[in-house]
Amino acid sequence: TGERMRQSARDAWEAICNRPKRYIPRDLREQISHAIIRQDKPISQLLQEISAATTQEWLPDKLQTLATDIVWLAGSLEQNAGSVLTQLEKRLGYCQFLQESSGFPQTGAGYAASVQAFMQYAQDKGSLTTFLAHIRTLSKSQTGKSGNGQRDAVALTTIHQAKGLEWSLVCVP
């Protein structure tokens, strides 16, 4: 339904609007979030309209760049996933963002290496659309979970992530 699509677009907006940091003020992020639900327009079009109406000097360029990136990505869905993700990382400077914003150099380097490995994994998985379907399938068949309930499995996690979860047996190495 249209309502579900708008909610999905709003969730996507909230996930990407400030990652990497674009310094979009909270009130403006919320304004855009509400506009996505109320109006039946693509996010890129909303960003361009709001960019034209904003009075802050530095903000229109950031909104325009984000709108351009969204349009570019939408037009790249049938291209090779690895190439698209590599180009997207370069456009966003995402690995550099992770290295600079992760607190510790080793943590940031680890996050950036994970992104690089993900892009490498995508290289031979077909188009971006095909790759995303593949990722959804992997997510649904994640170890320890199935569509019909639980099955016997081992889950490796941090103590922090395990907090509050119930298991019959827990081993802490």
pLDDT tens digits for range 120-164: 999 999 999 999 999 988 887 765 454 445 566 777 777 777 777
CA-to-CA separations, 14 to 11, 70, 133, 161, in angstroms, rounded: 5, 14, 22, 23
Q: Is 113 helix (H, G, I), strand (E, B) or coil?
A: helix
- Tell me, yes or no, if the pTM score tops 0.75: no
CA distance 79 to 139: 22
> 50-106, pLDDT tens digit by residue?
888 888 888 899 999 999 999 999 999 999 999 999 999 999 999 999 998 888 889
